[in-house]
Amino acid sequence: MVRLLSAAVTHVGLVRTNNEDAYLAMPKVGLFALSDGMGGAAAGEIASRYFIETVQAVFTNDIPGSAGETYARVEKIFGDSNKRILEHAAQNPDDWGMGCTGDILVFYDDRYVVGHVGDSRVYLLRHGGLLQLTSDHSLVQLQVDKGLLTPQGARTHPQKNIILRAIGTDSLVFPDILKGEALDHDIFLLCSDGLTDMVEDSEIQRILSWDGSRQQKADSLIGATLDAGGRDNVTVVLCEVGMSSQQNPALGIAQQMTSS
């Protein structure tokens, strides 16, 4: 079994007045999630909260013990939260167009499953190397994939915030789901684009690799974002893997969005 330790920080940034990010960190049950809301007024905050609440609801009692069951629950989270956001928008016309990104990281035995929609990201630091596990569902990423734009150009492109897949914006949502083996000392990072729009991957890798505590690393990622201008809300959730022969307890503590 894996033993998981985590740290998480969210910050409103230096420009926005409200925080539309939300997150969940439950290391004792191996469950982590992050969402970045979008929409006018408080609609983005509502959408991201709905996603996190759905994650909690689907994994209320336990963590599944097989890949198939885990996949099914992850798909259910995206489907249920998509439906809930659409229903809210239908009943509240002023919130029409609301939606959110969604990333889930769940562990069972010594394996992990990631579910992903939007342009928030999940990274893995392994043996000192940083790997981006998810691919942005964005217009600029599509152009990068086609060779029409460089990754460096994508970071400053005027259309970099146009996402092609989100939760709550269409009748159906299609998450990317991937799996892998968790190794001792792996560090997973879930983050909103408030981090990646401001901080280069090389700097993220440097911060995650230095000999500090998980909380110090999370705080440093936020600090680097603010030093670069902090134009958006920014949230980071860190999860470090250690191997344990004991099973995880059935209950954990949920941490949801707090603004700084």
- pLDDT band for position 244 (50/70/90)? low
Comparing C-alpha atoms, which of 77, 46, 83 is closest to residue 64?
77
Domain ranges for the chain = 2-243
Residues 6+ apart with CB under 8 A from 222: 9, 11, 234, 236, 260
Question: What mean pLDDT, rounded, does the chain reach?
Answer: 91
C-beta of residue 7 within 8 angstroms of C-beta of residue 214 = yes
In this prediction, residue 151 has a pLDDT band, given cuts at 50, 70 and 90, of confident
Position 177 pLDDT exceeds 60 = yes
| Rounded average pLDDT over 122-133 | 98
CB 15 within 8 A of CB 231: yes
Tell me: pLDDT of 249 over 80.
Answer: no
Give the percent of the chain with pLDDT over 70: 93
- What is the pLDDT, as a whole number, of residue 248? 40
pTM for the full predicted model: 0.92
Mean local confidence (pLDDT), 156-182:
94
Q: How sure is the predictor about 154, in pLDDT bands with cuts at 50, 70 and 90?
A: confident
Q: In the beta sheet, which residues pair with residue 176?
A: 116
| Distance, CA of 38 to CA of 40 (rounded, Å) | 7
Q: Out of 3.30.70.2740, 3.40.630.30, 3.60.40.10, 1.10.760.10, select the CATH number for domain 2-243.
A: 3.60.40.10
pLDDT digits (tens, 9 = 90+) for 99-115: 999 999 999 989 999 99
Query: CA nearest 11: which of 205, 207, 253, 198?
Result: 198
